[in-house]
Structure 1
Amino acid sequence: MTRYSGIHGLGIVDTGNATTVARVDGIIIDPVTATVVAIEARAGRSHSAVHWPDIAGFGDAVTVASPGAIRPADGRAAELRGARHDLLRKRVLTDAGDEIGRVVDIDFDPRTGTVTGLVTDNGTVDGARLMGCGSYAVVVRGR
């Protein structure tokens, strides 16, 4: 598994010429499917995205096949981009309305993008429980 805090700030490297073309600046998650749809990329003052299918791998850097992989967010990534849908630092509520913590990090499978856990200040919640995210909270299925 890979943790978001472990990739934040990493270089995004073009494997064609081994140059750093941007840095990881965020993560875009679809709460309905509990998957990473893109990572946010920053190159200087420019903010773009690398959509999941364009990511070649994760390690000491995030690799992409070409600099063209870094582009404006579109489709579902564009819909979910922004503070309203950002899971980090939000309250976690069960579908019964009980607060169980705040999201402090996110675990995901680097091969599939599946969210495997929401790391909260009170422990880890299984990513399969993720139901939704709004401006106020992240909602998860009760146990």
Structure 2
Amino acid sequence: MRIAVFADVQNIYYTCKQAYGRSFNYRALWQQLSMSGQIVTACAYAIHRGDEQQLKFQDALRHIGFEVKLKPYIQRSDGSAKGDWDVGITIDVLETAATVERIVLLSGDGDFDLLLHKVRDKYGIEAEVYGVPRLTASSLINAASAFHPVDSSLLL
């Protein structure tokens, strides 16, 4: 089975920290997914702040096998921040869906529910979600062919 993985890094980072006080283990996920098929595409979408710890983390993702896609961190004048990858993730999923049998999305963001419905209906493929149970939108869980709760086996 050909698998494509799309990681909403900011969402997974903050939900794991909020729920468990721990970080997500991307290597454990990679090993888990590799047992059920061949990972042919893996993208991790993150915000670039340029700090040393973040650069080490991005290098670790690349070493595992992820293509790391970065957007600049933008601080608005009102103090709020911008750094959203939803459109980029959506485009990449839609461009990849015809070439794989399984899409795996790491996110709890309910904005992706329409995307999962679309790829399941149009391409007849599995569209699975890994997310923190109490912080994943129910609409996203319902749109997925399978929901995999992030638990201690996927945490550092």
Normalized per residue, the structure richer in helix is 2
TM-score, length-normalised on structure 1? 0.24
> Which protein is richer in strand relative to its size?
1
Which protein, 1 or 2, shows the higher relative CO under an 8 Å CA cutoff with sep ≥ 6? 2
